[in-house]
Amino acid sequence: MADVDVKTESVADGKEVKKETNGEVCKEASLTGEELEKRIVRQIEHYFGDYNLPRDKFLQQEMKLDDGWIPVEILIKFNRLARLSTNIPFIANCVSKSSSDLIEVNEEKTKIRRNSSKVLPEMNEARRHELILRTLYIKGFPTDCQLDEIEEFLAQYGKVDNIVMRRYQDKATKQWIFKGSVFAVFPKVEEGQKVLDLGTLKFKDQELIMKWQSQYIQDQRNERITKKMEEKCKKRMKRDDGENEDNKTDREELAKGSVLHISDCPGELTREDIKSKLEEFGFAIAFIDYAKGNPEGHIRLQESGTAKQVIEKLEDSKMEFHGASVAFRALEGDEEVEFLNKVKSEMARKRNFSKNQHKRRGGGRREGGGSYFHRKRKGSPNKDDHSSEQKKVKKESE
């Protein structure tokens, strides 16, 4: 199932968030004083932080307009900050009073920017790998838990750069439901290790499961391999029992919204490269229709609606492989229907071919014809054929 990063924000529909109070009291809860100020500073630090800013195209474009400065009136259009406060002087004052060396306020207290001395890391392949190495997978939160609750809980054990609440889409209601697990990105590997070394953590009397994201990815990969092997064994048993699978393709429903088209592929790119990178993002692969050396190909994911989620996680819909930027595009409409129909036809053809091959091999030895394994290899001498010895004797006599 797909994961959704609920921490990264953008301006919803380009419209301002409705202002329900004077902005000095948190709209999610009755927070006031130091706690509210801390929450506001922490939220703005997230917007301009090393984790979010390299991914936030909207903020990056706005920063280019005024030497990195962002008007507070733009920031209060971001949902999470707006739920804390929409009072511009109050927000600016919170930031100016804080000891943060990441963000700064202009003299008029109307704009905020990232400290120019803080170099923004580039979001590339090495950076993504480095983020995975300092990310913990934590499971066991109630499914009705809110992000603020998890933030406050983890804040007890140190600073956390970002929290991704993992969600799946309920097929019946089309609602995104929290799985009860998160990916927590720590500033350094050592800080994440300190939390892991605590052994057992409990959230509201519920014991939490913790492991590095890299270990989680490997465990998921191993589970999929095991599951595939079990499915193959079941299919083999059904086939041996003579189960008729002629209509299996008609019964299958391939996931919709799960097909990606890739282009501008470098010659060194392999299917394993693609699979490994997408699995790092938490997406399960169904099939990769690509051959090394081809400039383009297709990727079919296991879950419905995940193709667009992959695109949303990419910078300019591109992913770096072997120093080259590979373009990603989600198939939609008739193009997707046509592709999935071809996939079904190909699956049916391979299934029928495999079944026919099995019948041929299981036919037994036919009279006079011999079995497949007893056929004479072309060009090999027959053990009863003495022509080679006769030729040798004739040559010696000459």
Instruction: Tell me, yes or no, whether 130 and 215 share the same domain.
Output: yes
- What is the pLDDT averaged over residues 77-90? 92
Q: Are 68 and 89 in a shared domain?
A: yes
As a whole number of angstroms, the distance between CA 305 and CA 259 comes to 9
How many domains does the chain contain in total? Answer: 3
pLDDT tens track for 3-18: 434 444 434 343 333 3
Q: Same domain, yes or no, for 146 and 209?
A: yes
Q: What per-residue confidence (pLDDT) applies to 359?
A: 60
Note whether 91 and 164 are same-domain residues.
no
What is the pLDDT averaged over residues 127-133?
Answer: 91
Give the domain range for residue 46: 33-114
Instruction: Determine contact, residues 104/112, Cβ cutoff 8 Å.
Output: yes
Last residue of a domain, one of 58, 89, 114: 114
Any domain includes 200: yes
pLDDT of 31 reads 67
Domain CATH code at residue 100: 1.10.10.10
Asked, for residue 396, whether it belongs to a domain, the answer is: no
pLDDT band, very low/low/confident/very high, at 238 (cuts 50, 70, 90): confident
* Weakest mean pLDDT among 127-141, 307-321, 369-383: 369-383
**Domain match, 160 and 101 both:** no
Give the CATH number, domain containing residue 272.
Answer: 3.30.70.330
User: pTM of the entire structure?
Assistant: 0.52
Q: Single out the residue in 340, 363, 382 at which a domain terminates.
A: 340
Residue 374 lies in a domain: no
110, 171: one domain: no
> Which tens digit of pLDDT belongs to each residue from 259-294?
999 999 999 999 999 998 898 888 889 999 999 999
Q: Are residues 87 and 137 in the same domain?
A: no
Residue 170 lies in a domain: yes
Looking at the structure, do residues 188 and 270 belong to the same domain, yes or no?
no
Mean pLDDT of 32-41: 86
Looking at the predicted structure, is the pLDDT value of residue 372 above 70?
Answer: no
Q: Which two tokens mark 275?
A: 């699979």
Is residue 14 within 8 A of residue 78, CB to CB? The reply is no
Round to whole Å and give the CA distance between 77 and 80: 9
109 and 135 within one domain: no
Task: Judge whether 12 lies within some domain.
Answer: no
Last residue of some domain: 93, 114, 135?
Answer: 114
Q: Is the pLDDT of residue 109 over 70?
A: yes
Confidence (pLDDT) at 336: 93
- Give the per-residue pLDDT at 171: 87
| Banded pLDDT at 345 (limits 50, 70, 90) | confident
The answer to whether residues 215 and 140 belong to one domain is yes
Residue 30 has pLDDT above 90, yes or no: no
- The answer to whether residue 120 sits within a structural domain is no
Region 367-373: what's the mean pLDDT?
Answer: 43
Residue 211 and residue 144 share a domain: yes
Considering the domain boundaries, does residue 62 fall inside one? yes
pLDDT the model gives residue 106: 93
Q: What is the pLDDT of residues 146-178, one digit of tens each?
A: 998 999 999 999 989 899 999 999 888 989 999
For residues 41 and 97, membership in a common domain is answered with yes
Whether 365 is in a domain gets the answer no
